[in-house]
Amino acid sequence: MTPQITDQFVDVATMLADTARSVVRPWFRRGVGVESKKDASPVTVADRTAERVMRAILAERLPEHGVFGEEFGQDNAQADYQWLLDPVDGTRAFVTGRPLFGTLIALFYKGEPVLGILDQPVLGERWVGVKGRATVFTSSLGGQAHTRQDVALAEAEMSCTSPEMLELAPHDRWKMLKKQARRMTWGGDCYAYGLLALGQIDLIAECDMNPWDWGALVPIVQGAGGVMSAWDGSPLRMDGDRTVLAAGSPALHREAVRILQAG
């Protein structure tokens, strides 16, 4: 049973996003130093500082909750409520001066993502998703979070962060999906899912995804009318196969799953 997501939880998530924005934005295009983690992925002082500050807020406001951050691991792993933090999703974009990254803040309850924020600190754009509610999008450019619902696969705009990511795919049937879509656009990291929620992108197929990469995005995409799952159509799980499929409509999602499951 999914619990009621209280205003307190949404307020704390918003506070985390506001604080992370104030930490991350001043480092953008400032020649920030980059280190490589054990998995060869990049990390900067912006990632680490933002996560430390967000952890401090959670320790003060919701000490009974667990925290699982990309940079500093997991605390209070037995708690039903777990906050998953990715301070800079898309570090490669961040360090090369492209505003196609974001801060991801997710709240899981017993393994299910129930609240998510995607914040783009440079553009000042934010998506807030809560399970069972419509996604709220704020931007100086205006716009509403609503996916495109009547798009056939042949007309679908497809996206993936990088070709290298798909080298780790469990199979190569994504190539058929790519072939049948209107076109594939590379790049975007979490920001691409925000664009899907705005109806600019229709389909995303990725793999090698950690729970902090997709947790915040599930309530956002679903609250805008879309669907997210693993490639086989099953619900995303923290111990799943690391594949992620997002589609703007249930019909497009069903078609994509059919192709990805074809023998």
Among residues of the chain, what percentage have pLDDT more than 70? 93
89 is annotated as contributing to ligand binding: yes
Name every residue whose Cβ is closer than 8 Å to that of residue 2 and which is 6 or more positions away in sequence: 109, 112, 114, 131, 132
86 is annotated as contributing to ligand binding: yes
- How far is it, in rounded angstroms, from Cα 149 to Cα 249? 5
Comparing 71-75, 80-84, 122-126, 237-241, the range with the smallest average pLDDT is 71-75
Which pLDDT belongs to residue 67? 96
Residue from 25, 1, 48 nearest 120 by CA = 25
Q: Considering 102, 137, 172, which residue would you say is the last residue of a domain?
A: 137
Q: Considering 110, 137, 164, which residue would you say is the last residue of a domain?
A: 137
47 is annotated as contributing to ligand binding: no
Does residue 164 sit within a domain?
A: yes
39 is annotated as contributing to ligand binding: no
pLDDT tens digits for range 90-110: 988 988 899 999 999 999 999
Does residue 92 sit within a domain?
A: yes
Does residue 183 sit within a domain?
A: yes
Residues 52 and 93 in one domain: yes
120 bridge partner residues: 125
Q: What is the CATH number of the domain that holds 207?
A: 3.40.190.80
Residue 40 scores a pLDDT above 70: no
Q: Considering 86, 112, 137, which residue would you say is the last residue of a domain?
A: 137
Q: Can you say whether residue 50 is alpha, beta or left, with left for phi > 0 and alpha for psi between -120 and 50 degrees?
A: alpha
Domain that holds residue 225: 153-261
Which pLDDT belongs to residue 30? 80
- How far is it, in rounded angstroms, from Cα 236 to Cα 21? 27
Task: Count structural domains, the chain.
Answer: 2
Residue 26 scores a pLDDT above 70: yes
Does residue 145 sit within a domain?
A: no
Residues 185 and 236 in one domain: yes
Start-to-end CA span in the chain (Å): 36
Which pLDDT belongs to residue 33? 57
Does residue 142 sit within a domain?
A: no
Does residue 144 sit within a domain?
A: no
Q: Say if CB 220 and CB 214 are below 8 A apart.
A: no
Q: Can you say whether residue 6 is alpha, beta or left, with left for phi > 0 and alpha for psi between -120 and 50 degrees?
A: beta
Does residue 93 sit within a domain?
A: yes
Residues 133 and 161 in one domain: no
Does residue 62 sit within a domain?
A: yes
